[in-house]
Amino acid sequence: MQKRPNFFHHIHPPKISAREARFTYTFGLGGLTLYFLLILGLTGALELLYYVPSEAEANLSLQLINLFIPYGGLIRSIHFWAAQGMVITCILHLLRIVFTGAYKPPRNFNWLIGIGLLILTLFFDFTGYGLRWDSEIAWALVVGTNLAKSIPLIGPGLYDLVVGSVAIGPPTIVRFYGWHIYGLPIFAVILVSWHIFRVRRDGGISSSKEKAESPRRISRADLIRREVLVAMIMTILLLIIATLFPPSLGAKANFENLPEDATAPWFFLWIQQLLRIGSPFLMGVLIPLIFILILALLPYVFDKSPKGVAIWFNREGRKVQWIVIIIAACILALTVKGALL
Amino acid sequence: MRNKLSKIQLWFSRRNFLKFSLSISGALTLWGIARFLSFRDPRTPTTRIVLDVPDAYALGSVTPVPQVRAWLIRDDEGLYALSSVCTHLGCLVNFLNNQFECPCHGSKFDLNGNVLNGPALRPLEFVELKLSPENHVELDTNKRVSSSDRLVVNE
């Protein structure tokens, strides 16, 4: 009786094309994102043992993790840096997919799941950031929740749901905690498994039909060896960065006496800059939503041709590449402006 | 031979009965969940505070009252209070260079709360000031007043 491949074997087939397995094609970005997610799951589970999700004790319990628990500061630092790394690899992975035309049919649906995962990552970051409950995140919490309130019709209800009171207070941290460790991970597990499953279901890593003459293929063992190598290099990097640059932790947040400086977390700097220009709903909700909508529609409206897959900057996908370059340039410029101010 | 089914019996087929009970129980469940989610924590931040006697605030002074997120200001006509909550996205304004400035998105307001510089569109809110029975200034940020209201100081 022939054995059906298990999930691990499903995503690691016996042989895959050597051209598409090259590091300079994928840069291991999808795999690295998954690696960061696993690290986040592990370090997060450890932090759960000491973190107290209450308005009065959250900040104190983090100080305890930082100062008294053996390796507590390192665990928290790894969690922090893996989260930053994941935002970066997510975005780079998206850019790689765009510039090699990997979003094209039949991978267009997996592209949508990927967009969902990007949004999920940002929600993870925001809720995790809020759990610090220190003076540094107080502004972001005020602005983020008031942005939700600015949405017409559903805004006030959404605000009540997220904040749990008329103003940020004890119920808010419990809700952020619930979303960060329970609500969002449920979506993450489902979407990540689906995303990886679809990679194989759609024919493996995007490969070029036009350039498929080269029959060279690498074996499963070779693929796994490469994955392990990249994970090991990243582990070393992560440990070095986490040791040298521990994340800051301010005093307990006081929403009556907020600090004078109010800089958003780096991945939301561009939204903060947008908000300086105009109304909260338009700049803080609508424009980001339009960006996401445009991204989601790329393989459905702007480039439906299945040609040019796996070719860097393929001719068929020029329009899509320009759209993404313009969006990315806008976000990057605003981020830099926000960082320098 | 079977009796002909009445209209009611026809309607109460097994399928319709199940559909009916499922939609009722589903609607009741949704109602319950909506009620469950609607609870708001009753603990609210303080909005009322009793301050010093009116004379304590000199002409032209701008005093922060962080406990209730407000600024107490005295001009020629008397005392008034502005909410420090920025009308753009709810950050608290600082007092710098004789104007109020929002640290989040850079809105600027003059001493009367008027917008000097966007992105805020509405002026800062005037909030209620009155004399307490002991002749102290009492401030309530929950109550809005008109921008011409003043608490006259008799010296």
- Please check whether residue B43 lies inside any domain of the structure: no
- Please check whether residue A299 lies inside any domain of the structure: no
Q: What is the pLDDT of residue A231?
A: 93
- Please check whether residue B152 lies inside any domain of the structure: no
In the predicted structure, residue A261 carries a pLDDT above the cut 80: no
Strands B99-101 and B108-109 come out as antiparallel
**Cα(B101)–Cα(A276) distance, rounded to whole angstroms?**
12
Q: What is the pLDDT of residue A120?
A: 96
Contact indicator for A341, A272 with CB cutoff of 8 Å:
no
- Contact assignment for A143 to B90 by CB distance below 8 Å: yes
Show residues of chain B in contact with A261, CB under 8 Å: 103
Q: Per residue, what are the HEC states of chain A? A: CCCCCCHHHHHCCCEEEHHHHCHHHHCCHHHHHHHHHHHHHHHHHHHHCCCCCCCCCHHHHHHHHHHCCCCHHHHHHHHHHHHHHHHHHHHHHHHHHHHCCCCCCCCHHHHHHHHHHHHHHHHHHHHHHHHCCECCCHHHHHHHHHHHHCCCCCHHHHHHHHHCECCCCHHHHHHHHHHHHHHHHHHHHHHHHHHHHHHHHCCCCCCCCCCCCCCCEEEHHHHHHHHHHHHHHHHHHHHHHHHHCCCCCCCECCCCCCCCCCCCCHHHHHHHHHHCCCCHHHHHHHHHHHHHHHHHHHHHHHCCCCCCCCCCCCHHHHHHHHHHHHHHHHHHHHHHHHHHC
Closest partner residue to B119 (CB to CB) among A164, A166, A275 is: A275
- Please check whether residue B137 lies inside any domain of the structure: yes
- Please check whether residue B65 lies inside any domain of the structure: yes
Beta partners for B2? none
- Please check whether residue B149 lies inside any domain of the structure: no
Q: B103 CB near a chain A CB, below 8 Å? A: yes
**DSSP string of A213-239, one letter each residue:** T---EEEHHHHHHHHHHHHHHHHHHHH
**Cα(B114)–Cα(B123) distance, rounded to whole angstroms?**
5
Per-residue pLDDT tens over the stretch A291-316: 999 999 999 988 888 887 878 888 88
Q: Which residue has the higher pLDDT, A5 or B63?
A: B63
Closest partner residue to B41 (CB to CB) among A171, A260, A279 is: A171
Q: A282 CB near a chain B CB, below 8 Å? A: no
**Cα(A80)–Cα(A66) distance, rounded to whole angstroms?**
13
At which residue do the structure tokens 């079977």 appear?
B2
Q: Helix crossing, A72-99 with A108-131: angle to 10°?
A: 150
- Please check whether residue B42 lies inside any domain of the structure: no
Q: Say whether both B53 and B104 belong to one domain.
A: yes
* pLDDT classification of B2: cutoffs 50, 70, 90: low
Q: Say whether both B55 and B127 belong to one domain.
A: yes
Mean pLDDT of A144-151: 90
Q: Say whether both B17 and B80 belong to one domain.
A: no
Show residues of chain B in contact with A338, CB under 8 Å: none
Q: Say whether both B127 and B72 belong to one domain.
A: yes
In the predicted structure, residue A319 carries a pLDDT above the cut 70: yes
Size of interface A-B (CB pairs under 8 A): 71
Q: Say whether both B31 and B60 belong to one domain.
A: no
SS3 B142: strand
Beta strands (DSSP E) in chain B are: 48-50, 62-65, 70-75, 78-83, 94-96, 99-101, 108-109, 115-117, 126-131, 137-144
* pLDDT classification of A178: cutoffs 50, 70, 90: very high
Q: Say whether both B77 and B127 belong to one domain.
A: yes
Q: A144 CB near a chain B CB, below 8 Å? A: no
Residue of B33, B41, B117, B141 to mutate when probing chain A, most A C-beta within 10 A: B41
In one-letter notation, the amino acid at residue A237 is L
Nearest CA distance, A335 vs chain B (angstrom): 14
* pLDDT classification of A116: cutoffs 50, 70, 90: very high
In the predicted structure, residue A1 carries a pLDDT above the cut 70: no
Q: Say whether both B13 and B75 belong to one domain.
A: no
Beta-carbon contacts of residue A329 (< 8 Å; ≥ 6 apart): none
Nearest to A252 by CA among A54, A77, A93: A54
- Please check whether residue B103 lies inside any domain of the structure: yes
CATH code: domain of residue B139? 2.102.10.10
Mean pLDDT of B2-15: 77
- Please check whether residue A46 lies inside any domain of the structure: yes
Q: A54 CB near a chain B CB, below 8 Å? A: no
Per-residue pLDDT tens over the stretch A179-223: 999 999 999 999 999 999 898 888 777 777 666 556 778 888 888
- Contact assignment for B103 to A262 by CB distance below 8 Å: yes
- Contact assignment for B104 to A150 by CB distance below 8 Å: no
Tokens of A322: 């320009």
Q: B35 CB near a chain A CB, below 8 Å? A: no
At which residue do the structure tokens 């909410």 appear?
B83
In the predicted structure, residue B154 carries a pLDDT above the cut 90: no
Q: B44 CB near a chain A CB, below 8 Å? A: yes
In one-letter notation, the amino acid at residue A182 is Y
The residue in chain B having the minimum alpha-carbon distance to the alpha carbon of residue A274 is B105
CATH code: domain of residue A28? 1.20.810.10
Domain around B29: 7-37
Q: What is the pLDDT of residue A62?
A: 94
**What strands, in cross-sheet order, belong to the sheet with B126-131?**
B48-50, B137-144, B126-131, B78-83, B70-75, B62-65
Q: A147 CB near a chain B CB, below 8 Å? A: yes
- Please check whether residue A198 lies inside any domain of the structure: yes
Q: How many domains does chain A have?
A: 1
- Contact assignment for B103 to A167 by CB distance below 8 Å: no
Show residues of chain A in contact with B91, CB under 8 Å: 139, 142-143, 258, 262
Q: Say whether both B52 and B32 belong to one domain.
A: no
User: Peptide bond before B119: cis, by omega within 30 degrees of 0?
Assistant: yes
Q: Say whether both B75 and B113 belong to one domain.
A: yes
* pLDDT classification of A243: cutoffs 50, 70, 90: very high
- Please check whether residue A252 lies inside any domain of the structure: yes
- Contact assignment for B40 to A161 by CB distance below 8 Å: no
- Please check whether residue A274 lies inside any domain of the structure: no
Q: Say whether both B87 and B122 belong to one domain.
A: yes
Q: What is the pLDDT of residue B45?
A: 78
- Please check whether residue A324 lies inside any domain of the structure: no
Q: What is the pLDDT of residue A327?
A: 93
Nearest CA distance, B117 vs chain A (angstrom): 10
Nearest CA distance, A275 vs chain B (angstrom): 6
Mean pLDDT of A75-88: 95
Closest partner residue to A258 (CB to CB) among B43, B92, B105 is: B92
In one-letter notation, the amino acid at residue B48 is R
Q: Which residue has the higher pLDDT, A117 or B96?
A: A117
- Please check whether residue B1 lies inside any domain of the structure: no
Q: What is the pLDDT of residue A180?
A: 96
Mean pLDDT of B24-29: 96
Q: How many domains does chain B have?
A: 2
- Contact assignment for A279 to B121 by CB distance below 8 Å: yes
- Contact assignment for A272 to B94 by CB distance below 8 Å: no
Mean pLDDT of A230-236: 94
* pLDDT classification of B155: cutoffs 50, 70, 90: low
Residue of B67, B92, B102 to mutate when probing chain A, most A C-beta within 10 A: B92
Domain around A144: 7-260
Mean pLDDT of B29-39: 90
Q: What is the pLDDT of residue A210?
A: 61
- Please check whether residue A281 lies inside any domain of the structure: no
